[in-house]
Amino acid sequence: MSAPEAKPRMAVGEFLLRLVSGAVLAAIALALTWWGPLPFAGLVLLVSAALCWEWGRIVRGNELDAALVVHLAIVVGAIALSAFGQAALGALAVLVGALVVAVLRFGGTSFVSALGVGYVGLPAVALTWLRADGELGLMAVLFVFAAVWATDTFAYFCGRLIGGPKLVPRVSPNKTWSGLLGGSLASAATGVAFATVLGNTSPAYLAILGLALALVSQMGDLSESALKRQYGVKDASHLIPGHGGFMDRVDGLIFAALAAGLLALLRSPSAPASALIGWP
């Protein structure tokens, strides 16, 4: 077999590996999300723990150090508080914890290590808080998931099939404007589909929200790419076959979850899920 023939087969194999591992992870995430607020909080905790480890691996080059222990303790405590109805205290714990990490001065990465506490902790609190909000909590979290997944999927295929000018080639050479447009439109369409299923909510509002989450999730993707480029790292880790690490897989979701949580907080802190998806 010649080398030119081997490369397409390798590309197909890598794509299938990505597809299978992504499908398995999505199935697990959906099952635990559907199961209830506490199983979902457990899912968020496990993924957050992996993200804490990957952040230290990228920023400090360490698999295990004192900064990771502090980072993990803060995030785990914040998720636990949020899961048991104390989301405000959970968010406060993350902010205070970030200051603690900054003051402890872990080598020359104090600021970036502290930034990692907020990067992991605040979206985790937001998602746990949304899911705990009664029956609509499930739909709110599923909407955030669907918006981000639609963005990622259609951005990938539109970028590959259409191509065209690069989005930010210095940060992420594979991303294109056509991918951004395709992913954004897919997320907006997801909003319309959710409005049809839910009823009694505005399709226009959820389409606009889907579009906004798509743009925010792309910012998250680019931000993670910039971080890895800054530290000369290709993948956050190798925990997920075909995808790299959890940070590589959920970078868009992290930003989208934070944006969704902030919107819900501004609209109605007492009923975040209904506030997010526009339920009357």
- Would you say residue 22 lies in a domain? no
Report how far residue 219's alpha carbon sits from residue 253's, in angstroms, rounded to the nearest whole number. 10
The average confidence (pLDDT) of the chain is 90
What size, in residues, is the chain?
280
Give per-residue pLDDT as tens, 202-233. Answer: 999 999 999 999 999 999 999 999 999 999 98
Report how far residue 91's alpha carbon sits from residue 152's, in angstroms, rounded to the nearest whole number. 28
What confidence score (pLDDT) does residue 260 get?
Answer: 97
My answer on whether 105 and 157 are in the same domain is no
Global pTM reads 0.92
- Would you say residue 8 lies in a domain? no
Contact call for residues 261 and 127 (beta carbons, < 8 A): yes
Q: Which of 116, 132, 148 is the last residue of a domain?
A: 132
Task: Provide the residue range defining the domain that includes 40.
Answer: 36-132
Report how far residue 261's alpha carbon sits from residue 276's, in angstroms, rounded to the nearest whole number. 8
My answer on whether 60 and 198 are in the same domain is no
My answer on whether 139 and 278 are in the same domain is yes
Which one has a higher pLDDT value, 201 or 3? 201
Please name the residue that has the structure tokens 């339920």.
Answer: 279
Q: Which of 109, 132, 155 is the last residue of a domain?
A: 132
My answer on whether 156 and 113 are in the same domain is no
Helix or strand run (H / E) with residue 202: none
My answer on whether 90 and 151 are in the same domain is no
What confidence score (pLDDT) does residue 160 get?
Answer: 85
CB neighbours (10 Å) of residue 250?
28
Q: How confident is the model at residue 263 (pLDDT cuts 50, 70, 90)?
A: very high
End-to-end Cα distance, the chain: 63
